[in-house]
């Protein structure tokens, strides 16, 4: 049975040692995100947004606490298990698209599926379906250099959800785009989140976009707390 809570952080701690002092980034931090929910992560630079995303995405281990994805605890997983969990349950979108330049849009969305073990035919069908949904059907054979910034980022979003993840983590996904393109890309991402039921945690400095999500959180004294976007 699928969990209603797609991502859960329980009492997560992360500290860094600087000389003789210890810097606390996360202090018994808790968070819950439901399937199909979009949560904005709004916090000043240096507050720990990237650390939080890395821990939620199993790219970095917490010093204490647990990350639970769709009911599965990740705290005791070894590196191989964490890699498998990332590949199968988590999608990432970054400020820069990180598409592979030698491959077409279609091939970029196919690759994570083929790494997972899907056949070329199945991966191509899924990739084309996602790109059509993102209104990129006529551009599937174009390489990243032949696409606009907004098109590149929509391909990156399609790639992030290609393996039907439970969790989508995005770090300033529209930060490099002009306001009009940013709004268009955000609308496309929102539609995909609602359609797929993925739980999305999106770090952003854009308060207009944050207000369009279900709720916003911030980091305060190492805790994850609700945030009212002004």
pLDDT, average across residues 187-213: 89
The candidate with the shortest Cα–Cα distance to 69, out of 154, 144, 7, is 7
CA separation, residue 177 to residues 129, 147, 153, 163, 185 (Å): 25, 13, 9, 26, 9
What pTM, to 2 d.p., does this model score? 0.88
Domain that holds residue 92: 5-226
What is the average pLDDT value for the chain, to the nearest integer? 89
Percent of the chain residues past pLDDT 90, beyond the cut: 57
Maximum pairwise Cα distance, the chain: 57
How confident is the model over 133-183, as pLDDT tens digits?
888 989 999 999 999 988 998 899 999 999 999 999 998 888 778 888 888
The count of domains in the chain is: 1
Domain CATH code at residue 170: 3.40.50.300
User: Edge-to-edge strands of the sheet including 215-220?
Assistant: 90-93, 167-171, 199-203, 38-41, 215-220, 223-226
Instruction: List pLDDT tens digits, range 84-139.
Output: 899 889 999 887 778 999 999 999 999 999 988 899 999 999 999 999 988 898 99
């Amino acid at each position: 049975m699928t969990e209603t809570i797609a991502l859960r952080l329980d009492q997560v701690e992360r500290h860094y040692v600087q000389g003789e002092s210890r810097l606390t980034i996360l202090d018994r931090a808790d968070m819950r995100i439901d399937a199909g929910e979009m949560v904005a992560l709004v916090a000043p630079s240096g507050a720990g947004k990237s650390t939080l995303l890395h821990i939620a995405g199993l790219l970095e281990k917490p010093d204490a606490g647990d990350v639970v994805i769709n009911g599965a605890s990740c705290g005791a997983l070894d590196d191989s298990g964490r890699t498998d969990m990332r590949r199968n349950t988590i999608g990432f979108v970054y400020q820069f698209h990180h598409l592979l330049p030698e491959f077409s849009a279609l091939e970029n969305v196919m690759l994570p599926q083929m790494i997972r073990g899907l056949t070329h035919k199945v991966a191509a069908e899924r990739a084309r379906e996602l790109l059509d949904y993102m209104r990129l059907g006529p551009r599937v054979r174009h390489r990243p250099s032949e696409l606009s910034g907004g098109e590149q980022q929509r391909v990156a979003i399609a790639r992030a959800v290609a393996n039907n993840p439970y969790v989508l983590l995005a770090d300033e996904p529209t930060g490099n785009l002009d306001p009009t393109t940013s709004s268009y890309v955000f609308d496309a991402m929102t539609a995909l989140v609602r359609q797929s039921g993925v739980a999305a945690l999106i770090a952003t400095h854009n308060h207009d976009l944050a207000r369009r999500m279900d709720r916003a959180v911030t980091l305060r004294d190492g805790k994850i707390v609700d945030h009212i976007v002004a």
